[in-house]
Structure 1
């Protein structure tokens, strides 16, 4: 089994991943440019710099959650000098299966924060709690999976979620606060 250091070394540098994206690239870049870290939080990130953290991101470019969460992480990484590497979930199930959501789901993105020795310091993902509530509320009106309307209605809900993730700054702030809280425990 690979160590976290080995997974990190195998990972794709963040900007290389973003450049290669085929899905959600424009939205991801728009969020990254539209989101900024407040000046009063910089002290927190300056303290975090001393911990020399790195982060492994389990992701895929088609994932709407990754589209919103990764650009916020990249802003945090820049502020705290955290080197970021991407691991594609579907090609690396060995790692993904160590970070299942609720012990069963291969939900992404997952952010694994490690120190210079490759020791896991914190894990975040796939969603901030308030974002999860938002998604669950939108999905609550879907018919049963065996209902003939399910597929069409689910597509409409996913479209709404993707648009909200791309545009609603209060959701970005929830992600930011949740990641920052996780990093506070490092």
Structure 2
């Protein structure tokens, strides 16, 4: 059965309300947001062309999450001139929806959901770029026991490797734009 988010359309907050209400990580979030720039005029035009499509975007997220702080500024900027309405769903306030969009059985944010105007889910992105997520997938496959004595040490190593994969600058912004564009082109 196809997933639907019809009941959640219009129930979230706007990107601006999210940014204004951030209690954690606001400075870093705004730094990534303000550093965004289009590397390709073609990409910018593609996102602007979305206004001709019947799309909605819902984003499950929380301000305490490092991947939200890194990735969502790019998603917000990519969509801000697209005409696509964006509903931010704070994870803790929308656990019912979060539990429909688990990542490898866990609650990982951000999850960017694209739906048609009726709320039928067309696709999703997240919680992080594919090359960064690959590290977490490998970690979870090799460390299924969260109670193992060395689990926390090993997850710290995986998290450090994920940070390294993001890189120092804004290069990963282009990766997110590319992945979002590929997803949006697929339906």
Q: Same fold (TM over 0.5)?
A: yes
Unmatched 5+ residue regions in structure 2? none
Tell me how far apart the structure 2 counterparts of residues 167 and 78 of structure 1 sit (CA, whole Å): 25
Distance of aligned partners of 1:135 and 1:101 in 2 relative to their CA distance in 1, 3 Å threshold: closer
> C-alpha offsets along residues 111-148 of structure 1, whole Å, 9 cap, x if unaligned?
11122222222211112211224667899xx9x97787
Match of 1:92 in 2: 94
Corresponding residue SS for 2:80: helix
1:71-82 matched pairs, under 5 angstroms: 71-82=73-84
> C-alpha offsets along residues 148-176 of structure 1, whole Å, 9 cap, x if unaligned?
77657755865775687584322222222
Cα RMSD after superposing both structures: 3.0
1:67 is displaced (CA, Å) by 0.9
Match of 1:176 in 2: 177
Distance of aligned partners of 1:56 and 1:96 in 2 relative to their CA distance in 1, 3 Å threshold: same
Corresponding residue SS for 1:111: strand
Tell me how far apart the structure 2 counterparts of residues 157 and 119 of structure 1 sit (CA, whole Å): 35
> C-alpha offsets along residues 36-59 of structure 1, whole Å, 9 cap, x if unaligned?
223222332233221132211001
When the two structures are superposed, what TM-score results if normalisation uses the length of structure 1? 0.80
Tell me how far apart the structure 2 counterparts of residues 105 and 24 of structure 1 sit (CA, whole Å): 23
Distance of aligned partners of 1:112 and 1:147 in 2 relative to their CA distance in 1, 3 Å threshold: closer
Unmatched 5+ residue regions in structure 1? none
1:17-166 matched pairs, under 5 angstroms: 17-37=18-38, 38-102=40-104, 104-133=105-134, 151=152, 158=159, 165=166
Is the contact between residue 131 and residue 175 of structure 1 (CA under 8 Å) also seen in structure 2? Answer: no
Corresponding residue SS for 2:73: helix
Tell me how far apart the structure 2 counterparts of residues 130 and 154 of structure 1 sit (CA, whole Å): 17
Q: How many residues align?
A: 182
